[in-house]
Amino acid sequence: MVTKFDRELDQRAANYQPLTPLHFLNRAEDVYPHRIAIIHGDRSYTWKEYAGRCSKLAGALIDHGIERGDTVAILAPNTPAMLEAQFGVPMAGAVLNCINIRLDAAAVGFILRHSETRLLFVDQQFAEVARAAIAVLGEPITVVDITDPEVAGSRPVGRIEYESFLAGAPDTPDIRLPLSEWDAIALNYTSGTTGNPKGVVYHHRGAYLNALGQLVNAELSGDVPVYLWTLPLFHCNGWCYAWALAAVGATQICLRKVSGAAIYDAIANHDVTHFCCAPTVLSFLIESVPPSWVPPARPIRVLSGGASPPPAVFRRLIELGFRVQHVYGMTEMHGVATICQSQEAWQALPEEEHLVHLTRQGVRTVVMNEMMVADPNTLSPVSRDGSSMGEILLRGNLAMKGYFKNPSATEEAFAGGWYHTGDLAVVHADGYIEIKDRSKDIIISGGENISSVEVEDVLYEHPAVAGAAVVAVPDPRWGEVPCAIVELKADMAGDINASEIISFCRARLPGFKAPQHVIFDSLARTATGKLQKFKLRESALQHLVGNGAIGPDSGTTE
Amino acid sequence: MVTKFDRELDQRAANYQPLTPLHFLNRAEDVYPHRIAIIHGDRSYTWKEYAGRCSKLAGALIDHGIERGDTVAILAPNTPAMLEAQFGVPMAGAVLNCINIRLDAAAVGFILRHSETRLLFVDQQFAEVARAAIAVLGEPITVVDITDPEVAGSRPVGRIEYESFLAGAPDTPDIRLPLSEWDAIALNYTSGTTGNPKGVVYHHRGAYLNALGQLVNAELSGDVPVYLWTLPLFHCNGWCYAWALAAVGATQICLRKVSGAAIYDAIANHDVTHFCCAPTVLSFLIESVPPSWVPPARPIRVLSGGASPPPAVFRRLIELGFRVQHVYGMTEMHGVATICQSQEAWQALPEEEHLVHLTRQGVRTVVMNEMMVADPNTLSPVSRDGSSMGEILLRGNLAMKGYFKNPSATEEAFAGGWYHTGDLAVVHADGYIEIKDRSKDIIISGGENISSVEVEDVLYEHPAVAGAAVVAVPDPRWGEVPCAIVELKADMAGDINASEIISFCRARLPGFKAPQHVIFDSLARTATGKLQKFKLRESALQHLVGNGAIGPDSGTTE
Calculate the CA B329 to chain-centre distance.
Answer: 7
B221 chain-A contacts, CB cut-off 8 A: 215-216, 219-221
Could you tell me if A429 lies within 8 Å of chain B, comparing CB atoms?
A: no
Judged by DSSP in three states, A58 sits in helix
B222 chain-A contacts, CB cut-off 8 A: 219, 222
In this structure, of A243-247, A412-416, B307-311, B518-522, the range with the lowest mean pLDDT score is B307-311
Q: What is the CA radius of gyration of chain A?
A: 25
Of the candidates A28, A80, A33, the one whose C-alpha atom is nearest the C-alpha of residue A57 is A80
Q: How far apart are CA A25 and CA B511, in angstroms?
A: 45
pLDDT at position A554 over 60: no
Could you read off the pLDDT of B332-346 as tens digits, one per residue? 999 999 999 999 999
Could you read off the pLDDT of A492-505 as tens digits, one per residue? 877 889 999 999 99
Count how many Cα atoms sit within 13 Å of the Cα of residue A81 in the half-sphere of its side chain.
23
pLDDT at position A276 over 70: yes
Calculate the CA A457 to chain-centre distance.
Answer: 23
Residue from B5, B32, B97, B113 whose CB has the most chain A CBs within 10 Å, to mutate: B5
**Angle of the B22-31 helix axis to the B47-63 helix axis, nearest 10:** 140
Strongest mean pLDDT among A42-56, A464-478, B208-222: A42-56
> Long-range contacts made by residues B377-380, C-beta under 8 angstroms, separation at least 24?
B377/B416, B379/B416, B379/B418
Taking residues B222-230, report their average pLDDT: 91
The pLDDT score that the predictor gives to residue B555 is 40
pLDDT at position B526 over 80: no
The pLDDT score that the predictor gives to residue B556 is 35
The pLDDT score that the predictor gives to residue A207 is 98
Query: ipTM of this model?
Result: 0.86
E-strand stretches of B60-137: 71-75, 95-98, 117-123
Count how many Cα atoms sit within 13 Å of the Cα of residue B219 in the half-sphere of its side chain.
20
Q: Model-level pTM?
A: 0.87
DSSP per position, B453-476? HHHHHHHHHSTTEEEEEEEEEEET
pLDDT at position B432 over 90: yes
The pLDDT score that the predictor gives to residue B528 is 59
* Residues whose CB is less than 8 angstroms from the CB of residue B507 and which lie 6 or more positions away in sequence, other chains included: none
Q: How many H helices and E strands in chain B?
A: 17, 26
How many beta-carbon contacts under 8 Å exist across A and B?
A: 190
Of the candidates B249, B27, B41, the one whose C-alpha atom is nearest the C-alpha of residue A344 is B249
Identify whether the C-beta of residue A246 lies closer than 8 Å to the C-beta of residue A200: no
Taking residues A247-273, report their average pLDDT: 96
Question: Which of A7, A14, A32 is closest, CB to CB, to B399?
Answer: A14
B14 chain-A contacts, CB cut-off 8 A: 395, 399, 414, 417-419
Could you tell me if A9 lies within 8 Å of chain B, comparing CB atoms?
A: yes
Mean pLDDT across chain A: 92
Taking residues A423-442, report their average pLDDT: 88
Could you tell me if B16 lies within 8 Å of chain A, comparing CB atoms?
A: yes
Taking residues B528-549, report their average pLDDT: 81
Judged by DSSP in three states, B307 sits in coil
pLDDT at position A221 over 80: no
Of the candidates A217, A224, A263, the one whose C-alpha atom is nearest the C-alpha of residue A241 is A217
Identify whether the C-beta of residue B428 lies closer than 8 Å to the C-beta of residue B360: yes
Q: Which of residues 160-219 of A touch B (CB under 8 A)?
A: 179, 182-184, 187, 201, 206, 212, 215-216, 219
Of the candidates A22, A24, A47, A50, the one whose C-alpha atom is nearest the C-alpha of residue A35 is A47
Could you read off the pLDDT of A521-548 as tens digits, one per residue? 888 776 656 677 778 888 888 889 888 8
The pLDDT score that the predictor gives to residue A461 is 84
H or E segment to which residue A82 belongs: helix A80-91
Could you tell me if B363 lies within 8 Å of chain A, comparing CB atoms?
A: yes
Q: A67, exposed or middle or buried, with CB in 10 Å at 0-12, 13-18, 19+?
A: middle
The pLDDT score that the predictor gives to residue A493 is 75
pLDDT at position B440 over 80: no
CA distances from A400 to A87, A181, A237, A505, B539 (A): 19, 13, 13, 41, 62
Could you read off the pLDDT of A278-291 as tens digits, one per residue? 888 998 899 899 99
Strand order in the sheet with A363-364: A43-46, A36-40, A251-253, A226-228, A274-277, A300-304, A322-328, A338-339, A363-364
CA distances from A313 to A268, A286, A309, A317, A460 (A): 22, 8, 6, 6, 16
Taking residues B513-527, report their average pLDDT: 86
Of the candidates A394, A351, A473, A20, the one whose C-alpha atom is nearest the C-alpha of residue A203 is A20
Identify whether the C-beta of residue A445 lies closer than 8 Å to the C-beta of residue A478: yes
Q: How far apart are CA B31 and CA B29, in angstroms?
A: 6
**β-strand partners of A303:** A276, A325
Domains by residue range for chain A, with CATH: 442-546 (3.30.300.30)
Could you read off the pLDDT of A9-65 as tens digits, one per residue? 999 999 999 999 999 999 999 999 999 999 999 999 999 999 999 999 999 999 999
Q: How far apart are CA A238 and CA A305, in angstroms?
A: 11
The pLDDT score that the predictor gives to residue B506 is 92
Could you read off the pLDDT of B82-114 as tens digits, one per residue? 999 999 999 999 999 999 998 889 989 999 999
Determine the residue type at A130. Answer: A
A334 chain-B contacts, CB cut-off 8 A: none
H or E segment to which residue B302 belongs: strand B300-304
Strand order in the sheet with B370-374: B370-374, B390-395, B419-427, B433-438
| Strands A322-328 and A338-339, bridge-based pairing | antiparallel
Could you read off the pLDDT of A173-214 as tens digits, one per residue? 999 999 999 999 999 998 654 457 899 999 999 999 999 999
The pLDDT score that the predictor gives to residue A475 is 84
Which percentage of chain B shows pLDDT scores above 70?
96
pLDDT greater at residue A242 or residue A153? A242
The pLDDT score that the predictor gives to residue B390 is 94
| Strands B322-328 and B300-304, bridge-based pairing | parallel
Judged by DSSP in three states, A199 sits in strand
Q: How confident is the model at residue B221 (pLDDT cuts 50, 70, 90)?
A: confident
pLDDT at position B471 over 80: yes
